[in-house]
Amino acid sequence: MPKDKREISKEDIMPLDIYTKKRKEIRKNIVEFKKDRRVALGPYATFYFESYETMLAQVQEMLYIEKGGDEQLKDELAAYNPLVPNGKELTSTLMFEIDNPVSK
């Protein structure tokens, strides 16, 4: 699929048993990939610029954690495909990370 019209499909998803075996290495690689895709906006907020690779990793991880199968996959693709940039778009997620000692 051309990069200007890319989206995640069911065929892109690794079976759960294979993902489970490769998860540690995949997560290590995606953390390395994402480190140059972040921009801090002060002490509590960070933009993460997304890509096909980061969103595929997110979908795989959600399927691993929740183990919802094909029914869950439909929802994950609907949620994360809009964040895959197409053409010359930039997409990002904004994360707020506030340490709350009261909740610990």
State the pTM of this model: 0.82
Domain chopping of the chain, boundaries: 9-97
pLDDT of 16-51, one tens digit each?
999 999 999 999 999 999 999 999 999 899 999 999
Per-residue pLDDT tens for 1-15?
A: 455 558 999 999 999
Across the chain, how many H-helices and E-strands are there?
3, 3
3-state class (DSSP) for residue 80: helix
Structure-token pair, residue 52: 């096909």
Residues ≥6 apart with Cβ < 8 Å to 95: 45, 46, 47, 48
Can you point out the beta strands (E) in 14-100?
38-40, 45-49, 92-96
Rounded to whole angstroms, the Cα distance separating 54 from 80 reads 10
